[in-house]
Structure 1
């Protein structure tokens, strides 16, 4: 579980990142989760964009993606989700 200070730090790092994945009208699926797992292991911090044609609730999508990828949900801002997961092999971010 991340503290408030750690979340603030991660939000500041994520500010300049571009979303890597998009969730559309198909919603989430196992293939998307698998790709997120691979990418988050390399990057540790990522943004995911939810498109306007997605009918599912963005909070439910964020919780589901965080749970299935075993990542921490840092923030949901607008239609963007920020996820963090400490990497086993490519540790780059040192949390305060």
Structure 2
């Protein structure tokens, strides 16, 4: 289920003070990176990822791949940093506002 604007606003306020927990380097999106993203999203639900890609189009493609492969939603991008959210079905960590 897609996030509402109110929920995105809430998540942006929560992600603001977080540091990137996954940094994607020169090797790009490897299987190890996807495994780490999956584990981190299960644990925290809301994470920041630093994308060290050359240009904007490469970063955009990486973001699409992360969203598709990890079943996550993009919350925000600022420069080389993107924030992702994925609800943990077993034990939700963040309670989202309802419209």
Q: TM-score, structure 2 length as denominator?
A: 0.88
Aligned-pair CA distance for 1:38: 0.8
In 2, the alpha carbon distance for the partners of 1:33 and 1:90 equals 21
Aligned to 1:90: 91
In 1, the alpha carbon distance for the partners of 2:54 and 2:25 equals 8
Aligned to 1:59: 60
Matched, 1:19 2:20: yes
Task: Give the match's secondary structure for 2:26.
Answer: coil
Q: Structure 1: which 5+ runs fail to align?
A: none
How many positions carry a matched residue from both structures?
Answer: 94
Aligned-pair CA distance for 1:76: 1.1
Q: TM-score, structure 1 length as denominator?
A: 0.90
User: Could you list the runs of 4 or more consecutive aligned residues of structure 1 that deviate by over 6 angstroms after TM superposition?
Assistant: none
Q: Structure 2: which 5+ runs fail to align?
A: none
CA deviation vs aligned residue, 1:43-72 (integer Å, no higher than 9, x gap): 000000022xx3361111111111100011
What is the root-mean-square deviation of aligned Cα atoms in Å?
Answer: 1.2
